[in-house]
Copies of this chain bind each other. A is one copy, B any other.
Amino acid sequence: MKVGFIGLGRMGAPIAANLVHARHDVAVWNRSGEKARPLVEAGAILVASPRQAAAGRDVVLTMLADDAALDAVLSGEEGILVGLKAGALHISMSTIAVVTAESAAARHAERGQSFLSAPVFGRPDAASAAKLFVVAGGDPAHVQLATPLFDAISQKVFHVSEKPSAANLVKLCGNFMILSAIEALGEAMTLAEKGGVPKAKLLEVLTGTLFDAPVFRNYGAILVEEAFRPAGFAAPLGLKDMRLVSQAAEAGHVPMPLLSLLRDHLLQTIAKEGENIDWSGIARTIAKNAGL
């Protein structure tokens, strides 16, 4: 398929590589062109603007850091909206606000273009291994169209709604659930440790019984080893995501006291440990607050 790909960060680069690897015809653009080099060597074409990455393509995919970055590549003379032909499809994989997805969908619709929200679960290593989970929101026909692309990058696709932004909401819920699990583990491990039970022992019991899921195994290991640096997913990014959840909660008048707690722990973590720490570093904050 003729695709454009915009955003070659820690997630975008391996995703784009898998698309090239699956023999799609890929035009790439990134704010700093440097990062495109390995992809070009693998067969991608480097273009000079988001507009060119979209022009003449069936599909353009974006994987960007935040809402502002998405807006920047969509808008303006050199933006996707100008470049994408009528009927072509924009697949947005970034973790963005529900309202931002709604706005992007509306702007594409005005121009007769299509829009699919397809945020993903998985860290960069899962992206490299084509083992992501895709959460798709939009027209079933567009999901159908995107299937060869999703096949190249993921292990499973969940089509959650015909409304694109619903996929973003599910993604935000998922990130909230992850940090909630870390908070619960952090508090339990601190209590256990102060009572003489090693963290690893508690984790063994938990994952050996009711808590036998990747979220507890993966983050449990990080907490046991206190492997908070280098940051796999930095605390400020986690804070950004929790802010997006909070915006959705405020718009819907949903009190989420656990979310409030997570934000406060992220703020304390950044205030005390700096920005260069994994979001699971809230567990260090929890332990320190108990005098450990």
User: Footprint of B on A, CB under 8 Å?
Assistant: 98, 121, 133, 135, 156, 158, 160-161, 163, 165-166, 169-170, 172-174, 176-178, 180-181, 183-185, 187-188, 190-192, 194-197, 201-202, 204-206, 208-216, 218, 239, 243, 245, 248-250, 252-261, 263-265, 267-268, 270-272, 286, 289-291
Question: How many monomers of this protein are in the complex?
Answer: 4
What chain B residues lie within 8 Å of A170 (beta carbons)? 192, 197, 201-202, 205
| Contact B194–A254 (Cβ < 8 Å) | yes
| Contact A256–B210 (Cβ < 8 Å) | no
Interchain CA distance A261-B257 in the complex, whole Å: 7
What chain B residues lie within 8 Å of A205 (beta carbons)? 133, 135, 158, 160, 170, 174
| Contact A254–B210 (Cβ < 8 Å) | no
What chain B residues lie within 8 Å of A263 (beta carbons)? 250, 260
What chain B residues lie within 8 Å of A178 (beta carbons)? 210
| Contact A174–B214 (Cβ < 8 Å) | no
Taking A197-B161, A213-B212 as contacts, is the C-beta distance between A245 and B191 under 8 angstroms? yes
| Contact A184–B177 (Cβ < 8 Å) | yes
Give, as a whole number of angstroms, the nearest-CB distance from A242 to chain B: 10
| Contact B239–A201 (Cβ < 8 Å) | no
| Contact A195–B248 (Cβ < 8 Å) | yes
Give, as a whole number of angstroms, the nearest-CB distance from A157 to chain B: 10
What chain B residues lie within 8 Å of A248 (beta carbons)? 191, 195
